[in-house]
């Protein structure tokens, strides 16, 4: 069931709610530059197992409205709060992939984990996607600047290149095109604006220490986007966290090792 939730007077967020009567709820936040459809291989399975799965399209992406502003982590985490309040959600597992993981971390700190009893981070872009003087483990700043420039000059080419480095396991050409089309659904300005946020955002380091719920960290050791040391930093910074390396995955671990991904997530929810 798909519908819209108003998060600002002129901004609506698209929500897909699968198995609303499920026993336990998982709210998924997708990564850049995709949308909720990236979790297809979780949505195919988990509702059959009795779980309520809610996917959202972040502002600027998928079927959601695409305003000119609001692509910082504070605003995007406020959007998550609106969804949780509108649906009267409580005692949920909040899961975020890549930039969605960073938004989930900010949500936990900014909103004191409202409605969330467990957190799951999938190849999360935290505490920093890029290298900084105190954190030499991310991408080079100039590489992200090039992504922004390429987005503004030839976005389809940029998306194709990003897709080529996304998965570790072999994917078919049709699946690669499916992922590419998700990126095209976003607005060009929102795609670039979120990448600018990667450059400027430094508060996630302190946000990690604000997380007080059990946290599962799933991360591919071959990830070329959010390098594996980011997961180790998350594990070190979040009390009561568990890190599970995915030995045969890149950034798209939710597809590269989807059976393991689903099992680890379900086992965590049932703990």
List pLDDT tens digits, range 100-118.
Answer: 999 999 999 999 999 999 9
pLDDT in tens, 26-75: 999 999 999 999 999 999 999 999 999 999 999 999 999 999 999 999 99
Q: Which of the residues 65, 249, 251, 256 is marked catalytic?
A: 251
Nearest to 162 by CA among 142, 145, 152, 176: 176
172: alpha, beta or left? (left if phi > 0; alpha if psi -120 to 50): beta
> What is the structure's pLDDT at 144?
96
Verify whether residue 223 is a known catalytic residue: yes
pLDDT in tens, 178-200: 999 999 999 999 999 999 999 98
Alpha-helical (H) ranges within 201-250 are: 204-208, 228-237
Helix H or strand E encompassing 3? strand 2-8
Q: Which of the residues 207, 223, 249, 256 is marked catalytic?
A: 223
Question: Residue 84 contacts by C-beta under 8 Å, 6 or more apart in sequence?
Answer: 27, 92, 114, 115, 116
Q: Average pLDDT of 4-17?
A: 98
Question: pLDDT averaged over the chain?
Answer: 97
> What is the structure's pLDDT at 101?
98
End-to-end, the C-alpha distance of the chain in Å comes to 28
Q: Give the residue numbers spanning the domain of 46.
A: 2-270
Verify whether residue 251 is a known catalytic residue: yes
Verify whether residue 98 is a known catalytic residue: yes
> What is the structure's pLDDT at 243?
98
Q: How many domains is the chain partitioned into structurally?
A: 1
CATH of the domain at 33: 3.40.50.1820
Q: Average pLDDT of 117-121?
A: 98
Q: Which of the residues 77, 98, 190, 249 is marked catalytic?
A: 98
């Amino acid at each position: 069931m798909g519908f819209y939730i108003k998060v600002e007077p002129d901004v609506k967020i698209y929500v897909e709610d699968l198995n609303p009567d499920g026993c336990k709820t998982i709210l998924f936040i997708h990564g850049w530059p995709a949308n909720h459809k990236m979790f297809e291989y979780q949505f195919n399975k988990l509702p059959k197992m009795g779980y309520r799965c809610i996917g959202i399209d972040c502002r600027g992406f998928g079927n959601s409205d695409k305003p000119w502003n609001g692509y910082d982590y504070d605003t995007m985490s406020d959007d998550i709060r609106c969804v949780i309040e509108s649906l009267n959600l409580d005692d949920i597992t909040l899961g975020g992939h890549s930039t969605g993981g960073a938004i989930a971390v900010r949500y936990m700190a900014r909103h004191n984990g409202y409605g969330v009893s467990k957190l799951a981070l999938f190849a999360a872009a935290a505490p920093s996607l890029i290298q900084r003087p105190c954190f030499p483990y991310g991408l080079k700043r100039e590489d992200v600047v090039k992504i922004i420039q390429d987005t503004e000059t030839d976005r389809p080419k940029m998306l194709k290149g990003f897709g080529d480095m996304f998965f570790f396991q072999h994917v078919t050409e049709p699946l690669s095109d499916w992922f590419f089309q998700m990126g095209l659904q976003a607005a060009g300005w929102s795609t670039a604006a979120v990448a600018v946020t990667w450059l400027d955002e430094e508060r996630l380091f302190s946000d990690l220490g604000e997380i007080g719920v059990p946290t599962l960290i799933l991360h591919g050791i071959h990830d070329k986007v959010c390098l594996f040391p980011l997961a180790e930093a998350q594990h070190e910074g979040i009390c009561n966290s568990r890190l599970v390396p995915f030995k045969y995955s890149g950034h798209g671990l939710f597809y590269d090792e989807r059976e393991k991904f689903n099992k680890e997530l379900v086992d965590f929810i049932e703990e």
